[in-house]
Amino acid sequence: MSRKQYSNKYGIIEKYKSNVVWFFILFVVIFIMSFFYIGYVKELVYHNVYTNITEISEQTATQLNLSINDQKYFVKIMVDSIKRNHFETIDEIFERYSGDLKNFHFTRLVVLDKNGNGVTNDGFEVKNYPNIEEFFNQDEDTVYLSENRPSTVSDNQVNIYSRIFNFYGEEKVLLATVNTENYKDVLLRRLFGKGGTYLINNEGSILIDSFDVVKENNIDLFEHMRNKYNETEYNIQAINNMENNINQNKTGTFHITYDNSTYFIHYEKLGINDWYIITILSEDTIAKELIRIVTLSVILCLAVNLIIMFISLYINILNQNKNRKLFKVAFIDPITSLWK
């Protein structure tokens, strides 16, 4: 018999091969478990992100609601004071309240009659204000907040608070304007400079875009998003679902993939004029780093296990060689290579 035959006879090579197979199976099992572990952790991270973006959006809506309600209350106080005949002229109204405008982020006050004619507190004369009936069609006890529109005396986009009142027998309307940019600051405040927010009306038209991408008026957010995130059918379906839910006054959270990144989106009803806040954050700002750390940890564990298995396999090989040498010394004649 040859040396190889002797070795095979006593199972040395077979045992070595068996150990290699078991080491390989163990590595595959660990790899598969690690793969499922990464998926499990990713699901936990996404669930946590859903919770966080919902809280951020709710806080943003609350902050914007507080700001708008404070401004509405200031307008209500002014008109209530006028109704009590505390002022004899329009100039007295302006003189009393002009100093308080900055505290509520208002830029100017305007008093107009039903023909759209009037004056501003900073000296501008207004004639034939367009769509003046919009303001006079409101209930006299309600402070109305308009959607953003171009200012008639500046290049800014503004939102207008209004309330009608009777001034010595003549029906007038008090307008208090605020730059739309102020609301953009509120929308970004809770995001700490990361991500962005849209404010839309109940028809989906973008009122405020904190991303500064949409410059035109009356742009439909849903069409804008479908055109931007049209990489997959899933993205389109998710955006369609959001549109349907908003039409039914629902809130929700979902994620889409775009340009090799994941974007988390939450839509929250503002509670004013049926407006909605749409918050969009990318995984780069809230989840990717955590997922990267988990992935690196799993890879490190795999590497350690692989090293341990190779060391064990190496030790096993050394033991096999040692056993082979002992077998040879004990049972094989060194001269004839035959059994002693």
**By C-alpha distance, which of 121, 162, 116 is closest to 139?**
162
Residue-number span of the structural domain to which 145 is assigned: 86-180
For 14-52, give the DSSP string. HHHHHHHHHHHHHHHHHHHHHHHHHHHHHHHHHHHHHHH
pLDDT confidence bin for 6, thresholds 50/70/90: very low
Token representation of residue 294: 């988990």
Burial of 27 (0-12, 13-18, 19+ CB in 10 A): middle
- Alpha helices (runs of H) in 150-213, residue ranges in sequence order: 180-189
Q: What is the amino acid identity at position 85? A: N
Mean pLDDT for the stretch of residues 163-175:
94
DSSP reduced 3-state for 308: helix
- In the predicted model, what is the mean pLDDT of residues 174-186? 87
Average pLDDT in the 112-139 region?
A: 91
Report the distance separating Cα 338 and Cα 328, nearest Å.
10
Whether residue 100 is contained in a domain is answered as yes
Pairing of strands 125-126, 108-113: unpaired
Kindly state whether residue 176 falls inside one of the protein's structural domains.
yes
pLDDT at 89: 93
Cα separation of the two ends of the chain: 12
Confirm whether 145 is domain-assigned. Answer: yes
Could you give the number of structural domains in the chain?
1
Is the pLDDT at 12 greater than 60? The verdict is no
Does a structural domain hold residue 169? yes
Give the number of other Cβ atoms within 10 Å of residue 60's Cβ.
Answer: 24
135 domain-assigned: yes
CATH number at residue 91: 3.30.450.20
Region for 327 from its dihedrals, namely left if φ exceeds 0, alpha if ψ lies in -120 to 50, beta otherwise: alpha
pLDDT by residue (tens digit) across 192-210?
Answer: 445 788 999 988 999 988 8
- Collapsing DSSP to helix, strand or coil, 129 comes out as coil
Which tokens belong to 339? 């059994």
Take residue 324 and report the two structure tokens written for it.
């082979």
Q: What angle do CA 84, 90, 95 make, to 5 degrees?
A: 95
Q: Which of 21-30, 79-88, 152-161 has the highest mean predicted lDDT (pLDDT)?
A: 79-88
CB atoms within 10 A of CB 317: 13
In a domain, 16, yes or no: no
Closest CA to 304 of 107, 31, 5: 31
CA dihedral 122, 152, 68, 89 (to 10 degrees): 40
Q: Residue 264 in 3-state DSSP? A: strand
**Mean pLDDT across 92-105:** 93
340 within 8 A of 333, measured Cβ to Cβ: yes
Mean pLDDT of the chain: 82
Q: pLDDT for 249-279, tens place per residue?
A: 999 999 998 888 888 999 999 988 889 999 9
Tell me the C-alpha distance between 245 and 222, whole Å.
12
Say whether pTM exceeds 0.85.
no
Instruction: Establish if 61 belongs to a structural domain.
Output: no
Q: How far is it, in rounded angstroms, from Cα 171 to Cα 165?
A: 6
Length of the chain (residues): 340
Q: Any idea which residue has 């959001």 for tokens?
A: 242
- Provide the 8-state DSSP code for 119: E
Could you tell me which residues are beta bridge partners of residue 196? Answer: 280
Residue 77 lies in a domain: no
Report pLDDT digits (tens) over 33-62: 777 776 777 777 777 778 888 888 888 888
Q: What is the percent of the chain where pLDDT is above 70?
A: 79
Do the strands 252-258 and 261-269 form a parallel or antiparallel pair, or are they unpaired? antiparallel
